[in-house]
Amino acid sequence: MKLREDIRNIAIIAHVDHGKTTLVDELLRQAGTFRANENVEERAMDSNDIERERGITILAKNTGIKYKDTRINILDTPGHADFGGEVERIMKMVDGVLLVVDAYEGCMPQTRFVLKKALEQNITPIVVVNKIDRDFARPEEVVDEVLDLFIELGANEDQLEFPVVYASAINGTASLSPDKQDENMQVLYESILEHIPAPVDNREEPLQFQVALLDYNDYVGRIGIGRVFRGTMKVGQQVALMKIDGSIKQFRVTKMFGFFGLKREEIQEAKAGDLIAVSGMEDINVGETVCPIEHQDALPILRIDEPTLQMTFLVNNSPFAGREGKYLTSRKIEERLRAQLQTDVSLRVDNTDSPDAWIVSGRGELHLSILIENMRREGYELQVSKPEVIVKEIDGVRCEPVERVQIDVPEENTGAVMESIGARKGEMLDMINSGTGQVRLIFNVPARGLIGYTTEFLTLTRGFGIINHTFDSYKPMATGQVGGRRQGVLVSMESGKATTYGIMGVEDRGTIFVDPGTEIYEGMIVGEHTRENDITVNITKVKHATNIRSANKDQTNVIKKPRIMTLEESLEYLNDDEYCEVTPESIRLRKKVLDKSERERVAKKKKYAEL
C-alpha cells in the first residue's frame, strides 16, 4: 500500500485551558510560518473576539505547517463539551491526535470526552504533558492517570503504547524526559513524523471528498471543509454531491483552498490525504460526499450529537424595546438565527405558534449563550426564556440528559458540596483524596439539576472549587424537584431611575442587582429576596426635601455594592415566569407579565389548574 509520506494530518485535543491553542501557536512559530517581522498575537488561532476574551476555542480551526519536507495539517479543536460536535467530526479527517494534558490537573472530564471520540475512530495518539514548568507539576502521576483512562475507555494494544512528550507550550520547549526541557519543540515535530501514520496515496482511484466542517463567506457562500479520502479534485471539475437525504446534485468546483499558517491559499488541485476548503456548492452539509458523476460512492454519514438544551428566543417587547439595538424585528432575528444554521450543525431552530418566538436548541448553556452574546454584539435586541433540558422518549420511558460532573474542592467543603449535589439528585461515582487538602468528587447529575448551580457552588466553596461537566447519557427522569432557584426576587413596582434613597429602603430585604441611576421599568427584576416569595418594591423613591435639619445630616449614606450579573449568570438565574432581555448595552431580568395585579391573577389561575 502506497503512502503519502509528505503529509501528516493531526488534531490537537484536550480539556479546556490545558494549552492546546498556545501549543499550536508555538508549533507555527518554530516551523517558520511567520515572517521575522510579522506581529502575531498570542493564541493566534482564536480569531473571534469572544474566544480571545474568554481564552477558549469555540470553533475548530485548520492550519498547516511545513517541517523538513513534510506538511503537517493541524486541527485545533474546542475543549468544551458544548462544542463536542466539532471534535467528533474532526476525528474523521485526521490520522492521529496530540492529547494535551495539564501536568498538574491531570485527566479532566473533557479529556475523557475527547479521548473517547479519538479511540472510537481508532486514531493513533501522542500524549503531550503540558505546563511541565508549573509549580506542583506531577508528570509521572499524570501519565499513569492517562494510561488508566486509556484502559478504562477500551484502548487497543497499539494505542496503549502511546509515546509521551513533556512540554511547556508557553516557553516553546519540549523533551522526552520530565526532568529537563530541550531548547525548542524539535522532539514534538519528530514524534509526529515518527508515530502518526501517513495517509494512503490512492490518488489514481475515483474521487471521494467528505465535508466535516462548514464556513460561510458573503462572497462565495457556503464553504465545505473536509478531507480528500480518495482520488484527485481539480478546480473547474464537474462533480456529484451525495446529499444526506439520498438525493444527488451536480455542481462545478469553483474554488479550492489549502491551509497554510493562518491563511487560506487558493489551490488548483488536491489529492488523497489533503485537507481543503471547497466553494461552489450552495446547500452543502456536514457529512455529505463529493464524488465523480460517473462513480457515485458515498462515505458513511457523520453522526452529529443531538442538542440537549433549549430556550425560547423572542422579539423584545419590554417598555425599553428599540432604545439600544439596531435589529429588533422578528424578520431580522429569524434571518440571523437561520444564518447561524449555515455553519453550526449542532444547533436547531424551530418555529412556534407565534411569529415572534422561536425554540432554539443547542448542546448546552455555553453553546446558546455564545450565540446570544454574538447577536447582542452585532446590534440585535431580543428576549430569551429559561433554559430547559430536552426530554426524549426511549423505549416508552421519558428520559433526560445526565451529565458526568467532576468537582475539585478543598477538603473542608466536601460535605457541603455533596449535600448540595444530593439535593439536585446527583449520584456519586467516585471520591479521590489526594492527601494535599484537595478532594476530587465525581457524580452523575441530571442536566436540569446543574442549571443555575455554578453560583451556589462558588458560594459553598468560597471560590476555591473547580467544577467541570460533560454530557454522559440519557437516563429515566428523576422524580421530584431537581435544582431550580430557591430564592424569590424583588420586582420593581414603578418605572423611573433607581435612587440611592430607594435602594437603601429595600436593602435589608435582599441583594440588589442595579446601581443608583439605572433606568428601570415596572415588572423589572431589581434584586433577590432573602425569602422564597417574590415581592414588589419601589427603588425609584426620592427623599422629599424639608426644612427640618438632621443631626447626622453630614454623614454620607453608603449602600452595598450591587450584584451585577453576566449573561450566563442571568440565563441560569431565570425562573419559568421570567425573561432575560438582551440588548447591545444592557442585560435585564424581567417578569413575563409586568403588571403586578395581572401577575397575581395568572398565578392564581395556575394554582387552580394544578389543583
Tell whether residue 583 is among the known ligand binding residues: no
Name the residue type at position 600.
E
Q: What is the mean pLDDT of residues 544-560?
A: 63
CB 435 within 8 A of CB 136: no
pLDDT of res. 554: 44
Please count the structural domains in the chain.
Answer: 4
For residues 7-22, average pLDDT: 80
Q: Is residue 348 part of a domain?
A: no
Q: Are residues 409 and 265 in the same domain?
A: no
Helix, coil or strand: residue 553:
coil
CA distances for 555 relative to 486, 551, 561, angstroms: 37, 9, 18
Residue 202 lies in a domain: no
21 is in an annotated binding site: yes
Residues in the chain: 611
Do 23 and 89 sit in the same domain of this protein? Answer: yes
Band of the pLDDT at 284, cuts 50, 70, 90? confident
Specify if 332 maps to a domain.
Answer: no
What's the pTM? 0.77
353 is in an annotated binding site: no
The last residue of one of the domains, among 142, 160, 195, is 195
Q: Which three cell numbers stand for residue 578?
A: 421570567
Residue 520 belongs to what H/E stretch?
strand 519-520
Angle at 498 between CA 531 and CA 455, to 5 degrees: 40
Whether residue 604 is annotated as binding a ligand: the answer is no
Is 511 labelled as part of a ligand binding site? no
Query: Which set of grid coordinates corresponds to residue 500?
Result: 440611592
Q: Is 392 annotated among the ligand-binding residues?
A: no
pLDDT, residue 512, reads 92
Residue entry with cell 440588548 = 583
- Residue 445 is assigned to a structural domain of this protein: yes
**Pairwise pLDDT comparison (311 vs 28), residue with the higher score:** 311
CATH value at residue 411: 3.30.70.240
- Final residue belonging to a domain, choices 157, 172, 195: 195
User: By residue range, what is the domain housing residue 223?
Assistant: 208-292
Q: Can you give the CATH number for the domain in which 594 is found?
A: 2.40.50.250
- Summarised one tens digit per residue, pLDDT across range 120-157 is 888 888 999 888 888 878 888 889 988 988 888 888 88
pLDDT at 383: 94
Instruction: Please tell me the distance from the alpha carbon of residue 172 to that of residue 250, in angstroms, as a whole number.
Output: 47
Most confidently modeled range among 5-19, 31-45, 184-198, 282-296: 184-198
For residue 226, give the CATH number of its domain: 2.40.30.10
| Mean pLDDT value of segment 522-545 | 89
Residue of 226, 295, 285, 297 whose CA lies nearest to 259: 226
The answer to whether residues 472 and 538 belong to one domain is: no
Residue range 565-581: mean pLDDT, rounded: 89
For residues 28 and 133, membership in a common domain is answered with yes
pLDDT band at 523 (very low <50, low <70, confident <90, very high): very high
- Kindly state whether residue 258 falls inside one of the protein's structural domains: yes
Helix, strand, or coil (residue 458): helix
Is there a domain that residue 386 lies in? Answer: no
Quick one: 152 and 34 in the same domain? Answer: yes
Query: Residue 53's pLDDT is what?
Result: 47
From residue 504, alpha-carbon distances to 388, 538, 585 in Å are 35, 11, 26
Determine the Cα angle at 179 with ends 176 and 182, to 5°: 55
Ligand-binding annotation for 19, yes or no, is yes
Please tell me the predicted confidence (pLDDT) of residue 253. 85
Lowest mean pLDDT among 50-64, 312-326, 511-525: 50-64
Mean residue pLDDT of the chain comes to 82
| 510 and 396 share one domain | no
Q: Which segments of 424-548 does DSSP mark as H helices, in order?
A: 447-450, 453-460, 500-506
C-alpha cell at 406: 467532576
Indicate whether 125 and 227 sit together in one domain.
no
Spatial distance between the Cα atoms of 253 and 138, rounded to a whole number of angstroms: 51
Task: Kindly report, residue by residue over 50-76, the tens digit of the pLDDT.
Answer: 544 444 443 445 788 888 888 888 887
Cell of 561: 455594592
pLDDT band at 553 (very low <50, low <70, confident <90, very high): low
Report, as an integer, the average pLDDT of 593-597: 90
Q: 246 and 131, same structural domain?
A: no
Is 236 a residue whose pLDDT tops 60?
Answer: yes
At 216, which amino acid appears?
A: Y
133 marked as binding residue = yes
pLDDT at 456: 80
3-state secondary structure 355-401: CCEEEEEECCHHHHHHHHHHHHHCCECEEECCCEECCEEECCEEEEE
Beta strands 525-529 and 489-492 are antiparallel
Residue 367 within a domain: no
* 566 among annotated binding-site residues: no
517 and 418 inside one domain: no
Give the pLDDT mean for 495-523.
91
As a whole number of Å, the end-to-end CA separation of the chain is 73
Inform me whether the pLDDT recorded for 116 exceeds 50.
yes
Range from 62-66, 83-87, 509-513 that averages highest in pLDDT: 509-513
- Do 136 and 280 have their domain in common? no
Rounded CA-CA distance 304/235 in Å is 29
88 shares its domain with 46? yes
Do the annotations mark residue 455 as ligand-binding?
Answer: no
Average pLDDT over residues 36-58: 43
355-371 as b/e: b if 16+ CB within 10 A:
ebbbbbbbbbbbbbbbb
CB 231 within 8 A of CB 272: yes
Give the C-alpha separation, 599 to 605, whole Å: 10
Q: Is 61 left (phi over 0), alpha (psi -120 to 50) or beta?
A: beta
Rg (CA), the chain: 27
Pick from 267, 292, 317: which residue ends a domain? 292
In this structure, of 75-89, 271-285, 360-374, 404-418, the range with the lowest mean pLDDT score is 75-89
Angstrom distance (rounded) from CA 348 to CA 360: 6
Would residue 16 count as lying in a domain? yes
Q: Is the pLDDT of residue 582 over 90?
A: yes
Do 436 and 518 sit in the same domain of this protein? no
